[in-house]
Amino acid sequence: MLFKRLLCTPAAAYNRRHVWPVKQVTKNNFSEAVAEICDLIHSSDFVAVSLERTGNHAANWQKILSIDTPGTAYLKAKHAAERYQTLQFSVCPFSVDGSKLLAHPYNFHLFPRDELKVGMPCYSFSCQSSYLTSMAREGFDFNACIYNGISYLSRAQESVPKIQSGYLCLSTTSMVQCSSSNSPADSLFKQRIKSRVANWIKACKDSNKTEAVADALISYLRKIVSGSEFFGSRPSVRINVCTELQVQLVLQ
């Protein structure tokens, strides 16, 4: 009996796992946590990062394979990043102190929303049930993420409230080199619209038009502006945004 107890006692102690104190970061303690983790990162020996997303790939051919070229792997990762939302960003600075390894894990809960109330379009993203189920089993707090998650903006979205508040002067906005990446379909679409507008202006200048023709011209212009008159062409066109003022105009 004594021999059995001696064998069981170390095993029980060995199976006890040490639980690291993970700091949960939301919008309520974001500033404080950033100041802490910046100091820890600067003094750390290495840093580990991890993401919790609402999905990864919708089909097997979208998986990143070892035979993929760097360009193909990047496009696959870009497609997944644009389609699925990151709900948690984990950062853990590690420091080596003699024979000890010190870890300081942080979980940043993320959830994009229009915090500034400037009329941003609603965010939309895809979800995979298997990923959400796995996150729920691991104890992910969806309520804390949705209600207190850290919101964020892209650089283009950030410029809109700055312009509206007068923080940026429109005359001093920086110009960015535009890339002419219009596809043939975009070029045809623009030429069709230009032709229709030119014909509309020519018809308006006709002094012999009747009241019925004038009403028809107004209705036709309304269809062109609203995009409901396609004539088999594309209902949209790619827009290159070069200045922060153009960003505001596009979003409006």
Percent of the chain past pLDDT 90, that is, above it, reads: 20
How do residues 167-218 score in pLDDT, each as one tens digit?
A: 555 444 444 455 555 667 677 777 877 887 787 788 777 767 677 777 777 7
Q: What's the angle, vertex CA 57, arms to CA 56 and CA 63, rounded to 5?
A: 105
Q: CB–CB of 49/91 below 8 Å?
A: yes
Q: Which of 20-34, 72-86, 192-206 has the lowest mean pLDDT?
A: 192-206
- Mean predicted confidence (pLDDT) in 54-78: 82
Q: How is residue 219 written in tokens?
A: 């209705």
Torsion angle, CA of 149/126/138/36, rounded to 10 degrees? -30
Per-chain mean pLDDT for the chain = 74
Q: What is the pLDDT of residue 62?
A: 76
Q: What is the pLDDT of residue 244?
A: 53
Percent of the chain past pLDDT 70, that is, above it, reads: 65
Q: How many whole angstroms separate alpha carbon 77 and alpha carbon 185?
A: 27
How do residues 115-171 score in pLDDT, each as one tens digit?
A: 766 666 667 788 888 888 988 998 888 998 989 999 887 777 777 766 666 655 544
Q: CB–CB of 109/25 below 8 Å?
A: yes
Q: What is the pLDDT of residue 9?
A: 41
Alpha-carbon Rg for the chain in angstroms: 28
Domain 17-152 has CATH 3.20.20.10: no
Going by pLDDT thresholds of 50, 70 and 90, the confidence category of residue 110 is: very high
- Name the one residue in this structure whose structure tokens are 């409006």: 252
Going by pLDDT thresholds of 50, 70 and 90, the confidence category of residue 242 is: low
Q: How is residue 111 written in tokens?
A: 């959830």
Going by pLDDT thresholds of 50, 70 and 90, the confidence category of residue 45 is: very high
Q: How is residue 81 written in tokens?
A: 């990043």
Q: Where in the chain is the domain with CATH 3.30.420.10?
A: 17-152
What's the burial of 86, exposed, middle or buried (CB within 10 Å: 0-12/13-18/19+)?
Answer: middle
Q: How many whole angstroms separate alpha carbon 197 and alpha carbon 229?
A: 12
Furthest C-alpha separation in the chain? 115
Q: What is the pLDDT of residue 113?
A: 79
What is the three-state SS of 104-162? CCEEEEECCCCCCCCCCCCCCCECCHHHHHHHHHCCCCHHHHHHHCECCCCHHHHHHHH
Q: How is residue 197 written in tokens?
A: 């507008």
Q: How many whole angstroms separate alpha carbon 110 and alpha carbon 172?
A: 33
